[in-house]
Amino acid sequence: MIILLSFTISCKKKYERPDHFSIDLFENQRNEQPKKALTPQEASDKSLFVIKTNTIELINNLKIQDKNVNVYKINSGTIVKSAKDSIRFPIKIISNYDLKINDSDKDSTAVYLINPQSYKLLVKDMGVDYQALPAQIFQ
């Protein structure tokens, strides 16, 4: 009986999970590179409009598919580059990044605008006119 009992205990095998079956389900999310900010020259070349303004305000900050989406309103500004004749202010813009709004009236921010490329339903519902390009801000 002792031999039989010791045989059943010694033959018991523990389950070991093999490593070659492991699958990383979140590989793309972990390896996402941060978006590259364009230089002012690159952003100016790609944009339809470049507006310098100090009257920009954040209207809404949304989180869509784990991404922050900001909706801004520009009340007035100076058009530096234009593909069309004019822009009617105020305009609403959408951006995937923070525009770093200054509180002082002296500092103006250059905003590089293109036609909206993403979030079509949000653009339609909120009446967004343009989308901002990610450009580096130089002090």
Assess whether pLDDT exceeds 70 at residue 11.
no
Q: Convert the pLDDT of each residue in 91-128 to its tens digit.
A: 999 998 888 776 656 678 889 999 998 888 888 888 99
Q: Determine the Cα–Cα distance for residues 112 and 94; give it in Å rounded to an integer.
A: 11
**Closest of 92, 98, 97 to residue 75, by C-alpha:** 92
Q: Determine the Cα–Cα distance for residues 2 and 102; give it in Å rounded to an integer.
A: 83
Q: Convert the pLDDT of each residue in 22-39 to its tens digit.
A: 666 666 665 555 557 788
Q: Give the pLDDT band (50/70/90) at residue 59.
A: very high
| Between 99 and 13, residue with greater pLDDT | 99
Please answer whether residues 56 and 72 qualify as being in contact, where contact means their C-beta atoms are separated by less than 8 angstroms: yes
Write b or e for each residue in 57-79: b if 16 or more Cβ atoms lie within 10 A of its Cβ, otherwise e.
Answer: eeeeeeeeeeeebbbbbbeebee
Please answer whether residues 112 and 43 qualify as being in contact, where contact means their C-beta atoms are separated by less than 8 angstroms: yes
- In percent, the amount of the chain with pLDDT more than 70 equals 68
